[in-house]
Structure 1
Amino acid sequence: MITTETCPGDTDVAVAAARAGADVVRGLYGRRLARIDKGAGYFATEADVAAEQAILDVIRAARPDDTVLGEEGGRRGAADAAREWLVDPLCGT
């Protein structure tokens, strides 16, 4: 069951995570990026992967018991976690 229950400070964590991801992408803007083939015509760039990692680092530091499902890295954290964050990093593709 999906709920929208939040803990105090969740908005702050989400904003900090988004900013961390944006900082990564901004730092790579205009550069030639390595392409990572994901199969079936799908790919990511190093910006996608690095942005997701930056976002994940912020969330995991603030909410270590939560699970994170990321577009690039899949699900990380306990399968029975009470809460799950969904992350689609800032696109570098």
Structure 2
Amino acid sequence: MTTSYASSHDVDVAMAGARAGADVVRTLYGRRLARVDKGAGDFATTADIESEKAILDVIRAARPDDAVLGEEGGQRGAADAARQ
């Protein structure tokens, strides 16, 4: 049986992504934000979209071949990527 664990580098990437997203949210905190209607009463704000982009930029820099599924941007990367 093979068990897959995230490497310490994966943890570093996750932490860097979280920090990048938090930096965006912190910068936009307290500002009037544009809203994007996603349908069925759901919406995203500029902070949601920009923070996800910042997180994705970190992931893309470290793991360019990985696919990512984001709440705001949906599926990014190859559907048959080895890692998602």
In structure 1, what is the equivalent of residue 81 of structure 2? 81
- 1:7-86, aligned counterparts within 5 Å? 7-84=7-84
1:75, 1:11 → 2: CA distance? Answer: 21
From the CA coordinates, give the structure whose radius of gyration is larger: 2
Higher relative contact order, chain-length normalized (CA < 8 Å, sep 6+): 1
Q: Calculate the TM-score normalised by the size of structure 1.
A: 0.83
Structure 1 stretch displaced more, 8-17 or 18-27: 8-17
Aligned-pair identity (%): 76
Large movers: runs of 4+ above 2 Å = 3-8
Q: 5+ unaligned residues in a row in structure 2: which ranges?
A: none
Q: Which runs of 5+ in 1 are unaligned?
A: 85-93
Q: TM-score under structure 2 normalisation?
A: 0.92
**Cα offset, 1:6, TM superposition:** 2.5
| 1:4 CA drift (Å) | 4.4
